[in-house]
Amino acid sequence: MLRAPMLSGQAHLYRIDELYRDDHMVIVNKPAGVSVHKGWDAAPVNLVKLVRNLMKRRVHPVHRLDRPTSGALVFAFDGETAGMLQDHFREKTIEKRYLALVRGVTEEGGVVDHPIPRKPKGERVDAVTHYRRLAVALDRYSLVEARPETGRLHQIRLHMKHLSHPLICDTRYGDGRENDKFRHEFGLWRLALHAASIRFRHPHTGVPVDIQAPLPDDLRVPLERIGFVAGDYALA
């Protein structure tokens, strides 16, 4: 485990777990609440800066996760590797799987093929998400595994809302009363979405890379309070 150094203006210490590293890339377990890039809000901390300081070298984010989402994120150490990995994403040869807690009891599984905006209020583009229900708690909340086939903005959040199963503690697309309930009864103060695994072939060697990102405590502990156990969110 690597712990990020304090940066000027940083309100608290972010924990950055290193999941994999070689001469070409590093994969980290992004914490919820920190942006990948410098954004419009001019926050003093972003993940690029944190990982660059940890690695003591320049890093290139290969993809992104929404600010409130945690989980596996890949950084390349050079432009060539970044480009090769981004080609893999465009060719859909990289598999990402997410864990999400949603309102209601979902179907056992299915495919959501529903266009969503490319950006807020923008044109709609094709988007496909595969999902399966892993477990149910309190007879009204489902833990699901989501596997996006496309990589659109807020895709999983929008697709689960489309199914009338919004994510818990989603302040943009979720149910405000449910969000308040989870904050005060179960101590869940973040979006219930975690990028739990990523699989691809190494761009230089062709060797399979299969990385699991453990659930952070700020999501794992509330899930356990609700009644889920570790076996419920173990991915195959």
- Give the model confidence (pLDDT) of 130-188 as tens digits: 999 999 999 999 999 999 999 999 999 999 999 999 999 999 999 999 999 999 999 99
- Give the model confidence (pLDDT) of 100-115 as tens digits: 999 999 999 999 999 9
**Is 180 noted as a catalytic residue in this protein?**
no
Q: What are phi and psi of 16, to 5 degrees?
A: -115, 110
Burial of 50 (0-12, 13-18, 19+ CB in 10 A): buried
With 60 as the cut, is the pLDDT of residue 226 above it?
Answer: yes
Q: Structure pTM? A: 0.91
Token pair of 28, please?
């980290």
> Considering only CA atoms, which of 230, 222, 81, 231 is closest in space to residue 138?
222
CATH 3.30.365.10 is the classification of domain 2-233:
no
With 70 as the cut, is the pLDDT of residue 13 above it?
Answer: no
Active-site entry in 22, 41, 66, 210: 66
How large is the angle between the packed helices 217-226 and 176-186, nearest 10 degrees?
90
